A and B are shown apart, each in its own frame.
Chain A
């Protein structure tokens, strides 16, 4: 009799467990799932034709079929649409600038947009309106002076055709286009060693002016530069009827290898529009958002990549904060986080080991189990107050050899495996999602050639790929909505078969920079002609990968 009761009890428990599992799967997981399996399998629109020695063209499925790539802001100019430019963005930002502000690394409190706008407009009219060249900037936008002078120069790019020229190191030869140089400190100024004479004006972003001697009449300190400015909460701009401002250059960027690339107003506005559009329904950018730009992103090397996101957040009335070092405990309660992928993983691992209670581990397991079922949960979030509001994290990862891409070599190198071993895989992305309680979007950049990511994972894509895929490939997600991509056959890598969707990456679209040096521009044209048939394709030399059956880009590690 006792045996019978025991068997009955076990059978009852089993039945309850099975029923619970079934109910959970049918009524909870299927209803709560963010991304259907079908959507995950079809992340790109693929053309029905391809050229010989090329794959088909791939476009992000966020672009409706038959629609063009994201080209800009879609502003109205009488009965026509136009893409917009920096001045349109800043004008709209200042319309919402009553409450939002920016926290810089050199300030103990937020700087309001009225102050920033006031200083930028003052610099624009006093110093840039009659400049004879561009403004060479050696100060990161994470510092208030760097940000303000960049904004002033971008205003000048529309109004006076004077461009900001972002530098990554002190120029050792004269750059003909630069007439104003901005350096961060008097110490940097002392490293000019006679090259002061190359510039009409040198701005030192420190207040102490005791260094200014009679020998250097073209040097002013930051205090002198902004002396007499007034807070200003308006920036008026009306586009000319011929729409000519939209096609102007926005900035120059000189990479650490000395290659200068020009980016147009279109690069900025299409990147901003693309970032805004990537937020799905119900998760749109809004005035409560606060973006934290942290760690390596504040460096001169990567400063080009922060502008689109920073301006997009400000455009919606949100706040921005910059931090030199990434420390989860010291963030200013951001809702959006922009960080270097490996840097963030290291910091999160450190925080996890500091919060390694049994309950926290159990929560992490639950979060991981739910995430791989396609259900987002913040249950596993680390108990850190400053990340409580975090909802979306952007991880930056860069091509292993940016200088190779930027040099447009005639000879394509042979694919070398094992060069990107440190890149985060899908399992680590879910580790971050679970512990941060935030969506994590992996973005793949060519930081000196393309403004904004080349490809990025979907907001809702929480898949964990099989270990063999992660061991061999970087999972980049579908191509960005401002670009379209294809893979091409190269004679140096004949083992990559285009009929199996393998080859070297070529991109075309609106966020790609243009080489400034005539010789490099000619090399780029020749290479484009060779691989893209002169149809505006830019070969990314040295970047080899394949298109997955899900429409995502997988690059060989």
Chain B
């Protein structure tokens, strides 16, 4: 009835408040399903972990201390992809060993892998993967140990 009433007696609909000033504050940024865009800069293993394509739509992977946004290759790194174990983790050792096993990636509460035990051949393999990531994916920041958690 409301529309006919407005047509006859005047009146109009107002839209919802898009600014959020009249509603409860929200820290939403962009996507409504997640808690906003990824903030570029410094990542800890704990903060990196959620960007695994499942808990957050973005897929971030750390290689040699740099964090890359690999969301465009969801088919490889996303849930059910062949390299999904790398998503949200430091993938350096896995790439160096050309292994996708879960054993090659460390949990967020473990110290960051120093990669000191890699052979020259493995180091070379890692360097070529690093070059590949650098040329293909945007770099969003660095992976650093979190005081009290990783050090």
Task: Using CB atoms and an 8 Å cutoff, list the residues of chain A in contact with chain B.
Answer: 17-18, 20-21, 24-25, 29, 40-41, 46-52, 55-56, 365-366, 368-373, 427, 430, 463-469, 472-473, 499-501, 546, 548-550, 552, 554
Contacts and interface: CB of A to CB of B under 8 A. Distances in A.
A464 B31 contact: no
A48 B19 contact: no
Given A365-B7, A546-B19, A372 B13 contact: yes
Nearest to A545: B19
Interface stretch (B32-40, B97-105, B127-135): B32-40
A466 B4 contact: no
B90 interface: no
Interface in B127-151: 138, 140
B19 A473 contact: yes
Given A21-B1, A21-B3, A369-B7, A46 B30 contact: yes
B19 A369 contact: no
A463 B2 CA distance: 17
B17 A465 contact: yes
Contact of A554 (B15, B19, B57, B69): B19
For the complex of A and B, list the 6 residue pairs with the smallest distance between their C-beta atoms, beginning with the closest. Answer: A548-B18, A46-B30, A372-B12, A463-B15, A550-B18, A369-B6
A466 B31 contact: no
A472 B29 contact: no
Interface stretch (B20-28, B76-84, B117-125): B20-28
Given A369-B12, A372-B12, A499 B22 contact: no
Nearest to B138: A49
B36 A499 contact: yes
Contacts of A50: 29, 36-40
Contacts of A373: 3, 13
21 contacts: A17-B1, A18-B1, A24-B4, A40-B15, A46-B30, A46-B31, A48-B69, A50-B29, A51-B39, A52-B40, A56-B36, A464-B13, A465-B17, A469-B17, A469-B18, A472-B19, A472-B21, A473-B21, A499-B27, A549-B19, A554-B19
A550 B17 CA distance: 9
Nearest to B4: A21
B52 to A, nearest CB: 14
B40 A369 contact: no
Interface of B: 1-4, 6-22, 25-31, 36-41, 57-58, 69, 71, 138, 140
A553 to B, nearest CB: 10
A17 B7 CA distance: 13
A500 B22 CA distance: 13
B37 A47 contact: yes
Contacts, number: 125
Contacts of B25: 500
Given A49-B140, A469-B21, A464 B3 contact: no
Contacts of B18: 41, 465, 469, 548-550, 552, 554
Contact of A548 (B7, B19, B40): B19
Given A369-B11, A430-B12, A548-B19, A48 B3 contact: no
Contacts of A52: 39-41
B55 to A, nearest CB: 14
A466 B40 contact: no
Given A48-B58, A369-B12, A472-B21, 6 more contacts: A47-B30, A48-B71, A50-B39, A464-B14, A473-B21, A549-B28
Nearest to A368: B12
* Most chain B beta-carbon contacts within 10 A, residue among A41, A56, A464: A56
A372 B18 CA distance: 16
Contacts of B9: 365
B10 A46 contact: no
Nearest to A370: B7
A463 B18 CA distance: 11
Among B1, B7, B30, B38, chain A packs the most CB atoms within 10 A around the CB of: B30
B12 A468 contact: no
Contacts of B27: 499-500
Max chain A CB contacts within 10 Å: which of B39, B40, B140? Answer: B39
A326 B119 CA distance: 79
Nearest to A43: B18
B30 A466 contact: no
Contacts of B1: 17-18, 21
Contacts of A371: 12
A47 B31 CA distance: 9
Given A52-B40, A369-B7, A468 B21 contact: yes
Contacts of A549: 18-20, 28
B20 A465 contact: no
A50 B36 CA distance: 9
Nearest to B30: A46
Given A365-B10, A464-B13, A501 B3 contact: no
A461 to B, nearest CB: 10
**Residue among A48, A368, A499 with max Cβ neighbours from chain B (10 Å):** A48
A324 B107 CA distance: 71
A29 B30 CA distance: 29
A48 B20 contact: no
Given A21-B1, A369-B12, A500 B40 contact: no
B19 A469 contact: yes
Nearest to A45: B30
B29 A501 contact: yes
A17 B5 CA distance: 10
A469 B22 contact: yes
B21 A48 contact: no
Contact of B37 (A40, A56, A469, A473): A56
A25 B29 contact: no
Interface centre among A49, A55, A468, by most chain B C-beta atoms within 10 angstroms, is A49
